[in-house]
Protein backbone atom coordinates (compact mmCIF):
# COMPACT_ATOMS: atom_id res chain seq x y z
CA UNK A 1 0.00 0.00 0.00
CA UNK A 2 3.04 2.21 0.15
CA UNK A 3 3.41 1.96 -3.63
CA UNK A 4 2.24 5.18 -5.23
CA UNK A 5 -0.43 5.17 -7.92
CA UNK A 6 2.05 6.53 -10.43
CA UNK A 7 4.42 3.60 -9.86
CA UNK A 8 1.53 1.18 -10.23
CA UNK A 9 0.52 2.82 -13.47
CA UNK A 10 3.96 2.10 -14.90
CA UNK A 11 4.51 -1.32 -13.43
CA UNK A 12 2.26 -4.34 -13.85
CA UNK A 13 4.17 -6.41 -11.29
CA UNK A 14 3.82 -3.72 -8.64
CA UNK A 15 0.08 -3.60 -9.33
CA UNK A 16 -0.15 -7.37 -9.00
CA UNK A 17 1.78 -7.37 -5.70
CA UNK A 18 -0.38 -4.52 -4.35
CA UNK A 19 -3.59 -6.41 -5.17
CA UNK A 20 -2.30 -9.68 -3.71
CA UNK A 21 -1.44 -7.92 -0.45
CA UNK A 22 -4.96 -6.49 -0.31
CA UNK A 23 -6.53 -9.88 -1.02
CA UNK A 24 -4.88 -11.35 2.07
CA UNK A 25 -7.15 -9.15 4.16
CA UNK A 26 -10.30 -10.79 2.74
CA UNK A 27 -10.68 -14.37 4.01
CA UNK A 28 -13.69 -15.21 1.84
CA UNK A 29 -11.59 -14.83 -1.32
CA UNK A 30 -10.00 -18.20 -0.47
CA UNK A 31 -13.34 -19.99 -0.71
CA UNK A 32 -14.09 -22.55 -3.41
CA UNK A 33 -17.39 -22.69 -5.27
CA UNK A 34 -18.28 -25.85 -7.22
CA UNK A 35 -14.66 -26.93 -6.59
CA UNK A 36 -13.32 -23.80 -8.32
CA UNK A 37 -11.57 -20.89 -6.64
CA UNK A 38 -14.19 -18.18 -6.06
CA UNK A 39 -14.06 -15.35 -8.60
CA UNK A 40 -16.22 -12.69 -7.00
CA UNK A 41 -17.43 -10.15 -9.55
CA UNK A 42 -20.67 -9.08 -7.87
CA UNK A 43 -19.24 -6.20 -5.87
CA UNK A 44 -21.93 -3.71 -6.91
CA UNK A 45 -24.45 -5.91 -5.05
CA UNK A 46 -22.20 -6.06 -2.00
CA UNK A 47 -18.45 -6.05 -1.40
CA UNK A 48 -16.59 -8.61 0.68
CA UNK A 49 -15.38 -7.68 4.15
CA UNK A 50 -11.78 -7.45 5.38
CA UNK A 51 -10.65 -9.25 8.52
CA UNK A 52 -10.56 -5.92 10.39
CA UNK A 53 -14.31 -5.39 9.89
CA UNK A 54 -15.11 -8.93 10.98
CA UNK A 55 -13.00 -8.66 14.13
CA UNK A 56 -14.32 -5.18 15.03
CA UNK A 57 -17.87 -6.52 15.02
CA UNK A 58 -16.97 -9.66 16.93
CA UNK A 59 -14.94 -7.59 19.39
CA UNK A 60 -17.95 -5.42 20.13
CA UNK A 61 -20.16 -8.43 20.89
CA UNK A 62 -17.44 -10.15 22.95
CA UNK A 63 -16.25 -7.19 24.98
CA UNK A 64 -18.57 -4.18 24.74
CA UNK A 65 -22.10 -5.40 24.05
CA UNK A 66 -24.57 -2.97 25.60
CA UNK A 67 -27.06 -0.36 24.45
CA UNK A 68 -25.80 3.12 23.64
CA UNK A 69 -26.78 6.68 24.62
CA UNK A 70 -28.53 5.55 27.80
CA UNK A 71 -26.37 3.74 30.32
CA UNK A 72 -24.06 5.31 32.87
CA UNK A 73 -22.37 1.95 33.24
CA UNK A 74 -18.95 1.24 31.81
CA UNK A 75 -19.93 -0.95 28.84
CA UNK A 76 -22.61 1.44 27.67
CA UNK A 77 -20.25 4.38 27.85
CA UNK A 78 -17.57 2.50 25.93
CA UNK A 79 -19.99 1.33 23.27
CA UNK A 80 -21.41 4.85 22.92
CA UNK A 81 -17.92 6.23 22.50
CA UNK A 82 -17.07 3.63 19.84
CA UNK A 83 -20.31 4.23 17.92
CA UNK A 84 -20.10 8.03 18.10
CA UNK A 85 -16.44 7.78 17.09
CA UNK A 86 -17.62 6.29 13.80
CA UNK A 87 -19.91 9.27 13.24
CA UNK A 88 -16.91 11.58 13.52
CA UNK A 89 -14.87 9.27 11.26
CA UNK A 90 -17.64 9.48 8.65
CA UNK A 91 -17.90 13.24 8.98
CA UNK A 92 -14.21 13.53 8.29
CA UNK A 93 -14.25 10.86 5.51
CA UNK A 94 -16.91 12.66 3.45
CA UNK A 95 -15.82 16.12 4.66
CA UNK A 96 -19.13 17.14 6.23
CA UNK A 97 -19.09 20.33 8.31
CA UNK A 98 -20.48 18.80 11.54
CA UNK A 99 -21.39 15.43 13.07
CA UNK A 100 -25.00 16.68 13.34
CA UNK A 101 -25.12 16.29 9.55
CA UNK A 102 -24.32 12.56 9.75
CA UNK A 103 -27.51 10.53 10.26
CA UNK A 104 -27.10 6.78 10.67
CA UNK A 105 -29.65 4.78 8.68
CA UNK A 106 -29.97 1.16 7.49
CA UNK A 107 -28.53 2.02 4.09
CA UNK A 108 -29.04 4.04 0.94
CA UNK A 109 -32.64 2.89 0.57
CA UNK A 110 -33.61 4.11 4.01
CA UNK A 111 -31.68 7.37 3.53
CA UNK A 112 -33.69 8.20 0.40
CA UNK A 113 -36.98 7.16 2.00
CA UNK A 114 -36.17 9.39 4.96
CA UNK A 115 -35.67 12.43 2.73
CA UNK A 116 -38.68 11.67 0.50
CA UNK A 117 -40.87 11.30 3.58
CA UNK A 118 -39.56 14.07 5.82
CA UNK A 119 -38.49 16.71 3.28
CA UNK A 120 -41.62 15.78 1.33
CA UNK A 121 -43.92 16.46 4.28
CA UNK A 122 -42.29 19.83 4.92
CA UNK A 123 -41.84 21.14 1.39
CA UNK A 124 -43.71 19.21 -1.33
CA UNK A 125 -47.33 19.84 -2.26
CA UNK A 126 -49.77 19.29 -5.14
CA UNK A 127 -48.51 20.74 -8.41
CA UNK A 128 -44.82 20.53 -7.39
CA UNK A 129 -42.27 18.43 -9.23
CA UNK A 130 -39.51 16.01 -8.25
CA UNK A 131 -36.75 15.49 -10.82
CA UNK A 132 -34.67 12.31 -11.17
CA UNK A 133 -32.70 10.78 -14.06
CA UNK A 134 -33.46 7.87 -16.38
CA UNK A 135 -30.74 5.68 -14.88
CA UNK A 136 -31.85 5.55 -11.25
CA UNK A 137 -31.99 2.44 -9.06
CA UNK A 138 -35.53 1.63 -7.87
CA UNK A 139 -34.46 3.02 -4.47
CA UNK A 140 -34.20 6.45 -6.05
CA UNK A 141 -37.47 6.15 -7.96
CA UNK A 142 -40.09 4.47 -5.79
CA UNK A 143 -39.76 6.67 -2.65
CA UNK A 144 -40.35 9.72 -4.87
CA UNK A 145 -43.31 8.05 -6.58
CA UNK A 146 -44.82 7.35 -3.15
CA UNK A 147 -44.26 11.01 -2.23
CA UNK A 148 -45.89 12.17 -5.46
CA UNK A 149 -48.88 9.88 -4.88
CA UNK A 150 -49.28 11.22 -1.37
CA UNK A 151 -49.03 14.88 -2.29
CA UNK A 152 -50.23 15.23 -5.87
CA UNK A 153 -46.76 16.28 -7.04
CA UNK A 154 -45.38 14.81 -10.25
CA UNK A 155 -42.20 12.91 -11.04
CA UNK A 156 -40.08 14.20 -13.94
CA UNK A 157 -37.27 12.18 -15.51
CA UNK A 158 -34.19 13.57 -17.25
CA UNK A 159 -33.49 11.17 -20.14
CA UNK A 160 -30.21 9.38 -20.88
CA UNK A 161 -28.57 8.96 -24.28
CA UNK A 162 -27.44 5.73 -25.99
CA UNK A 163 -24.09 5.76 -24.18
CA UNK A 164 -25.88 5.91 -20.84
CA UNK A 165 -25.15 9.54 -20.00
CA UNK A 166 -27.68 12.04 -18.68
CA UNK A 167 -28.56 14.54 -21.44
CA UNK A 168 -27.51 17.66 -19.55
CA UNK A 169 -29.53 20.10 -21.71
CA UNK A 170 -32.68 18.05 -21.04
CA UNK A 171 -31.90 17.99 -17.33
CA UNK A 172 -31.48 21.75 -17.36
CA UNK A 173 -34.70 22.21 -19.32
CA UNK A 174 -36.64 20.25 -16.70
CA UNK A 175 -35.51 22.46 -13.81
CA UNK A 176 -38.16 25.08 -13.12
CA UNK A 177 -39.92 26.94 -10.34
CA UNK A 178 -42.14 23.94 -9.54
CA UNK A 179 -39.15 21.61 -8.97
CA UNK A 180 -38.80 21.01 -5.22
CA UNK A 181 -35.94 18.49 -5.15
CA UNK A 182 -33.61 16.57 -7.49
CA UNK A 183 -32.44 12.96 -6.90
CA UNK A 184 -29.44 11.67 -8.86
CA UNK A 185 -27.16 8.64 -8.80
CA UNK A 186 -23.49 9.54 -8.50
CA UNK A 187 -22.60 6.24 -10.23
CA UNK A 188 -25.15 4.02 -12.02
CA UNK A 189 -25.31 0.43 -10.75
CA UNK A 190 -26.66 -0.88 -14.06
CA UNK A 191 -24.45 1.04 -16.52
CA UNK A 192 -21.43 2.14 -14.51
CA UNK A 193 -21.84 5.77 -15.63
CA UNK A 194 -20.20 8.35 -13.38
CA UNK A 195 -22.52 11.35 -13.54
CA UNK A 196 -21.16 14.91 -13.53
CA UNK A 197 -23.00 15.50 -10.27
CA UNK A 198 -21.07 18.60 -9.28
CA UNK A 199 -22.15 20.34 -12.47
CA UNK A 200 -25.74 19.07 -12.20
CA UNK A 201 -25.93 20.27 -8.58
CA UNK A 202 -24.69 23.67 -9.67
CA UNK A 203 -27.40 23.84 -12.35
CA UNK A 204 -30.09 22.92 -9.80
CA UNK A 205 -28.76 25.42 -7.27
CA UNK A 206 -29.14 28.23 -9.79
CA UNK A 207 -32.88 27.65 -9.25
CA UNK A 208 -32.44 27.15 -5.46
CA UNK A 209 -33.39 23.50 -5.79
CA UNK A 210 -31.76 21.05 -3.33
CA UNK A 211 -30.14 17.87 -4.67
CA UNK A 212 -29.95 14.41 -3.14
CA UNK A 213 -27.09 12.27 -4.46
CA UNK A 214 -27.47 8.49 -4.30
CA UNK A 215 -23.87 7.52 -3.60
CA UNK A 216 -24.40 3.76 -3.15
CA UNK A 217 -22.11 2.89 -6.07
CA UNK A 218 -19.74 5.81 -5.67
CA UNK A 219 -18.76 4.91 -2.09
CA UNK A 220 -16.42 2.05 -3.01
CA UNK A 221 -14.83 3.72 -6.06
CA UNK A 222 -14.57 7.48 -5.50
CA UNK A 223 -13.37 9.76 -2.74
CA UNK A 224 -16.45 11.70 -1.71
CA UNK A 225 -16.32 15.30 -0.59
CA UNK A 226 -19.83 16.56 0.15
CA UNK A 227 -18.70 20.16 0.61
CA UNK A 228 -16.84 20.18 -2.68
CA UNK A 229 -19.89 18.70 -4.45
CA UNK A 230 -22.11 21.11 -2.48
CA UNK A 231 -24.84 18.44 -2.48
CA UNK A 232 -27.71 18.92 -0.03
CA UNK A 233 -28.11 15.21 0.80
CA UNK A 234 -25.81 12.26 0.13
CA UNK A 235 -26.73 8.59 0.74
CA UNK A 236 -24.35 5.66 1.32
CA UNK A 237 -24.52 1.96 2.24
CA UNK A 238 -21.65 0.52 4.31
CA UNK A 239 -22.00 -2.94 2.77
CA UNK A 240 -20.91 -1.64 -0.64
CA UNK A 241 -17.84 -0.05 0.99
CA UNK A 242 -16.30 -3.21 2.55
CA UNK A 243 -18.48 -2.77 5.65
CA UNK A 244 -21.45 -4.68 7.06
CA UNK A 245 -25.08 -4.74 5.94
CA UNK A 246 -27.73 -2.93 7.97
CA UNK A 247 -25.94 0.40 8.30
CA UNK A 248 -25.43 3.42 6.09
CA UNK A 249 -25.48 7.15 6.26
CA UNK A 250 -27.60 10.05 5.21
CA UNK A 251 -25.57 13.24 5.00
CA UNK A 252 -27.74 16.35 5.02
CA UNK A 253 -26.93 20.04 5.26
CA UNK A 254 -27.70 21.16 8.79
CA UNK A 255 -30.04 23.96 7.71
CA UNK A 256 -32.17 21.50 5.74
CA UNK A 257 -32.19 18.73 8.34
CA UNK A 258 -33.23 21.27 10.97
CA UNK A 259 -36.17 22.38 8.85
CA UNK A 260 -37.44 18.80 8.38
CA UNK A 261 -39.78 16.86 10.73
CA UNK A 262 -38.72 13.53 12.28
CA UNK A 263 -38.97 10.41 10.10
CA UNK A 264 -39.83 7.86 12.79
CA UNK A 265 -40.82 8.30 16.43
CA UNK A 266 -39.42 6.37 19.37
CA UNK A 267 -36.61 6.28 21.88
CA UNK A 268 -33.46 8.39 21.42
CA UNK A 269 -35.06 10.92 19.05
CA UNK A 270 -36.74 12.89 21.86
CA UNK A 271 -35.69 15.42 24.44
CA UNK A 272 -38.86 15.10 26.53
CA UNK A 273 -42.21 13.35 26.19
CA UNK A 274 -45.56 13.99 27.85
CA UNK A 275 -48.91 12.80 26.54
CA UNK A 276 -49.59 16.37 25.50
CA UNK A 277 -46.34 17.21 23.76
CA UNK A 278 -43.00 15.76 22.68
CA UNK A 279 -39.89 17.88 22.22
CA UNK A 280 -37.53 16.36 19.69
CA UNK A 281 -33.82 15.79 20.17
CA UNK A 282 -31.07 17.76 18.40
CA UNK A 283 -29.49 16.68 15.12
CA UNK A 284 -28.68 14.02 14.17
CA UNK A 285 -30.60 12.11 16.90
CA UNK A 286 -33.93 13.61 15.83
CA UNK A 287 -33.76 11.21 12.86
CA UNK A 288 -32.46 8.17 14.76
CA UNK A 289 -35.38 6.51 16.58
CA UNK A 290 -34.77 3.29 18.50
CA UNK A 291 -31.71 1.14 19.18
CA UNK A 292 -29.47 1.40 16.12
CA UNK A 293 -27.27 -1.25 14.46
CA UNK A 294 -24.42 -0.82 16.94
CA UNK A 295 -22.12 -3.68 15.93
CA UNK A 296 -22.65 -2.74 12.28
CA UNK A 297 -21.81 0.89 13.04
CA UNK A 298 -18.57 -0.21 14.64
CA UNK A 299 -17.88 -2.46 11.64
CA UNK A 300 -18.51 0.52 9.36
CA UNK A 301 -15.81 2.36 11.31
CA UNK A 302 -13.32 -0.43 10.57
CA UNK A 303 -14.34 -0.33 6.88
CA UNK A 304 -13.64 3.42 6.83
CA UNK A 305 -10.21 2.75 8.33
CA UNK A 306 -9.61 0.23 5.54
CA UNK A 307 -10.70 2.75 2.89
CA UNK A 308 -8.58 5.48 4.45
CA UNK A 309 -5.54 3.19 4.40
CA UNK A 310 -5.78 2.82 0.61
CA UNK A 311 -3.71 4.85 -1.82
CA UNK A 312 -6.61 6.24 -3.81
CA UNK A 313 -4.55 7.06 -6.85
CA UNK A 314 -3.64 3.36 -6.92
CA UNK A 315 -7.28 2.32 -6.43
CA UNK A 316 -8.28 4.44 -9.37
CA UNK A 317 -5.50 3.12 -11.63
CA UNK A 318 -6.21 -0.48 -10.66
CA UNK A 319 -10.00 -0.36 -10.97
CA UNK A 320 -9.84 1.48 -14.29
CA UNK A 321 -7.42 -1.08 -15.66
CA UNK A 322 -9.79 -3.91 -14.64
CA UNK A 323 -12.73 -2.14 -16.26
CA UNK A 324 -10.79 -1.43 -19.42
CA UNK A 325 -9.45 -4.96 -19.68
CA UNK A 326 -12.90 -6.48 -19.17
CA UNK A 327 -14.59 -4.07 -21.60
CA UNK A 328 -11.96 -4.56 -24.33
CA UNK A 329 -12.04 -8.35 -24.03
CA UNK A 330 -15.84 -8.49 -24.02
CA UNK A 331 -16.04 -6.21 -27.08
CA UNK A 332 -13.86 -8.67 -28.95
CA UNK A 333 -16.22 -11.59 -28.35
CA UNK A 334 -18.58 -11.89 -31.34
CA UNK A 335 -22.20 -11.45 -30.22
CA UNK A 336 -21.41 -9.49 -27.05
CA UNK A 337 -22.92 -6.02 -26.69
CA UNK A 338 -21.90 -3.79 -23.81
CA UNK A 339 -24.79 -1.83 -22.28
CA UNK A 340 -23.48 1.49 -21.01
CA UNK A 341 -20.53 3.05 -22.79
CA UNK A 342 -20.34 6.38 -20.97
CA UNK A 343 -17.07 8.30 -21.21
CA UNK A 344 -16.70 8.19 -17.43
CA UNK A 345 -17.40 4.83 -15.81
CA UNK A 346 -16.60 3.14 -12.53
CA UNK A 347 -16.65 -0.44 -11.37
CA UNK A 348 -19.34 -1.94 -13.61
CA UNK A 349 -19.56 -3.60 -17.01
CA UNK A 350 -23.03 -4.73 -18.13
CA UNK A 351 -23.51 -6.79 -21.28
CA UNK A 352 -25.72 -9.11 -23.30
CA UNK A 353 -24.71 -12.00 -25.57
CA UNK A 354 -26.82 -12.57 -28.69
CA UNK A 355 -30.15 -14.00 -27.58
CA UNK A 356 -28.77 -16.05 -24.69
CA UNK A 357 -30.70 -15.14 -21.56
CA UNK A 358 -28.47 -13.47 -18.95
CA UNK A 359 -29.71 -15.92 -16.29
CA UNK A 360 -28.35 -18.82 -18.35
CA UNK A 361 -25.03 -17.02 -18.64
CA UNK A 362 -24.98 -16.42 -14.89
CA UNK A 363 -25.71 -20.10 -14.19
CA UNK A 364 -22.90 -21.34 -16.44
CA UNK A 365 -20.47 -18.80 -14.95
CA UNK A 366 -21.49 -19.95 -11.47
CA UNK A 367 -20.46 -23.49 -12.40
CA UNK A 368 -17.00 -22.04 -13.05
CA UNK A 369 -16.96 -20.42 -9.59
CA UNK A 370 -17.63 -16.96 -11.06
CA UNK A 371 -20.18 -14.77 -9.26
CA UNK A 372 -21.84 -12.09 -11.41
CA UNK A 373 -25.28 -10.55 -11.18
CA UNK A 374 -27.85 -11.12 -13.89
CA UNK A 375 -31.25 -9.47 -14.22
CA UNK A 376 -32.56 -5.93 -14.27
CA UNK A 377 -30.37 -4.84 -11.32
CA UNK A 378 -33.31 -3.00 -9.72
CA UNK A 379 -33.15 -0.56 -12.62
CA UNK A 380 -36.02 -1.72 -14.84
CA UNK A 381 -36.40 1.68 -16.59
CA UNK A 382 -32.78 1.34 -17.78
CA UNK A 383 -33.57 -2.06 -19.30
CA UNK A 384 -36.65 -0.57 -20.97
CA UNK A 385 -34.51 2.28 -22.36
CA UNK A 386 -32.25 -0.27 -24.11
CA UNK A 387 -35.09 -2.62 -25.08
CA UNK A 388 -33.67 -5.60 -23.19
CA UNK A 389 -35.07 -7.63 -20.29
CA UNK A 390 -31.82 -8.02 -18.40
CA UNK A 391 -28.03 -7.90 -18.56
CA UNK A 392 -25.07 -9.78 -17.14
CA UNK A 393 -23.16 -7.46 -14.84
CA UNK A 394 -19.57 -7.93 -13.71
CA UNK A 395 -18.60 -5.43 -11.03
CA UNK A 396 -15.18 -4.87 -9.54
CA UNK A 397 -13.53 -4.07 -6.25
CA UNK A 398 -9.96 -3.26 -5.24
CA UNK A 399 -9.14 -6.92 -4.63
CA UNK A 400 -10.06 -8.18 -8.11
CA UNK A 401 -7.27 -9.23 -10.47
CA UNK A 402 -6.70 -9.41 -14.19
CA UNK A 403 -6.62 -13.23 -13.88
CA UNK A 404 -10.21 -13.01 -12.64
CA UNK A 405 -11.16 -10.98 -15.72
CA UNK A 406 -9.52 -13.67 -17.85
CA UNK A 407 -11.59 -16.30 -16.00
CA UNK A 408 -14.72 -14.30 -16.81
CA UNK A 409 -13.80 -14.14 -20.49
CA UNK A 410 -13.07 -17.89 -20.61
CA UNK A 411 -16.45 -18.39 -18.93
CA UNK A 412 -18.21 -16.41 -21.68
CA UNK A 413 -16.52 -18.56 -24.35
CA UNK A 414 -17.77 -21.60 -22.41
CA UNK A 415 -21.32 -20.14 -22.60
CA UNK A 416 -20.90 -19.74 -26.37
CA UNK A 417 -19.84 -23.38 -26.68
CA UNK A 418 -22.91 -24.53 -24.75
CA UNK A 419 -25.30 -22.40 -26.81
CA UNK A 420 -23.84 -22.82 -30.28
Helix 74-94 vs helix 294-309: crossing angle, to nearest 10: 40
Segments of 149-308 assigned E as strands: 154-158, 179-185, 211-214, 233-237, 248-252, 270-273, 278-280
CB closer to ligand 7TS out of 107 and 210: 107
- Report if residue 371 touches ligand 7TS, rule: CB under 6 A: no
Please identify, using beta-carbon distances, which residue of 39 and 212 lies nearer to ligand 7TS.
212
Q: Find the binder of ligand 7TS among 47, 193, 195, 237 (CB under 6 A).
A: 237
CA gap 116, 184 in Å, rounded: 13
Identify which of residues 8 and 116 has a Cβ nearer to ligand 7TS in the complex.
116
CA geometry: angle 387, 393, 395, nearest 5 deg: 145
Q: Which of 80, 113, 217, 316 binds ligand 7TS (CB under 6 A)?
A: 217
Task: Answer yes or no: 148 catalytic.
Answer: no
Q: Are 313 and 4 in contact (CB under 8 A)?
A: yes
Residue 253 as a binder of ligand 7TS (CB under 6 A): the answer is: no
Instruction: Indicate which single residue of 50, 100, 107, 347 sits in contact with ligand 7TS (rule: CB under 6 A).
Output: 107
| Residue 9 found at the interface with ligand 7TS (CB under 6 A) | no
Q: Does 19 bind ligand 7TS (CB under 6 A)?
A: no
Nearest Cα to Cα of residue 64 among 54, 72, 81, 76:
76
Name every residue whose Cβ is closer than 8 Å to that of residue 390 and which is 6 or more positions away in sequence.
352, 357, 358, 359, 374, 375, 376, 383
Please tell me the distance from the alpha carbon of residue 8 to that of residue 356, in angstroms, as a whole number: 38
> Concatenated DSSP letters for 264-304?
S-STTSEEEE-SS-EEEPPTTGGG--S---HHHHHHHHHHH
* CA neighbor of 241 nearest in space, from 291, 183, 310, 293: 310
User: Is 108 near ligand 7TS (CB under 6 A)?
Assistant: yes
Q: Assess 405 for contact with ligand 7TS (CB under 6 A).
A: no
CB atoms within 10 A of CB 210: 22
In the beta sheet, which residues pair with residue 303? Answer: none
Near ligand 7TS by CB under 6 A: residue from 214, 288, 296, 319: 214
User: Is 376 an interacting residue with respect to ligand 7TS (CB under 6 A)?
Assistant: no
Is residue 350 involved in binding ligand 7TS (CB under 6 A)?
no
If one asks whether residue 296 binds ligand 7TS (CB under 6 A), the answer comes out as no
Q: How far is the CB of 35 from ligand 7TS (least distance, A)?
A: 26
Of the pair 156, 373, the CB lying nearest ligand 7TS is at: 373
| 189 binding ligand 7TS? (CB under 6 A) | yes
The single residue among 22, 39, 44, 160 that binds ligand 7TS, judged by CB under 6 A, is 44
Could you count the other beta carbons within 10 Å of the beta carbon of residue 334?
7
| Span 72-101, contacts to ligand 7TS by CB under 6 A | none
Smallest distance from ligand 7TS to CB 359, Å: 15
Tell me: does residue 216 bind ligand 7TS (CB under 6 A): yes
Please answer whether residues 132 and 160 qualify as being in contact, where contact means their C-beta atoms are separated by less than 8 angstroms.
Answer: no
**Residues of this chain, 121-150, that bind ligand 7TS according to CB under 6 A:** 137, 139-140
H or E segment and range at residue 404:
helix 402-419
| Min dist. Cβ of residue 38 to ligand 7TS (A) | 18
Q: Which residues are catalytic?
A: 378
Binding residues for ligand 7TS, rule: CB under 6 A, are: 44-45, 107-109, 137, 139-140, 185, 189, 214, 216-217, 237, 373, 377-378
Amino acid sequence: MMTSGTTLLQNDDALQAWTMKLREQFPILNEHVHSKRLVYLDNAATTQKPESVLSAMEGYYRHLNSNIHRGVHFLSEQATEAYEGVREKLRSYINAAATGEIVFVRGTTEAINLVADSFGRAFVKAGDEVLISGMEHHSNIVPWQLLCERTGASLKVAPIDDRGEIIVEEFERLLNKRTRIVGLAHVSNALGTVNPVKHLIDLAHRHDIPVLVDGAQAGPHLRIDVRDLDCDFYALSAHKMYGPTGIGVLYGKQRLLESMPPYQGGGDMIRSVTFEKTVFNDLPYKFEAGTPSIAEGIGFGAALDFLTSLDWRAVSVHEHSLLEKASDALCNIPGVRIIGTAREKAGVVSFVLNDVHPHDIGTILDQEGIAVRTGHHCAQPVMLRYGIPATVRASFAVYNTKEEIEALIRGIYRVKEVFH
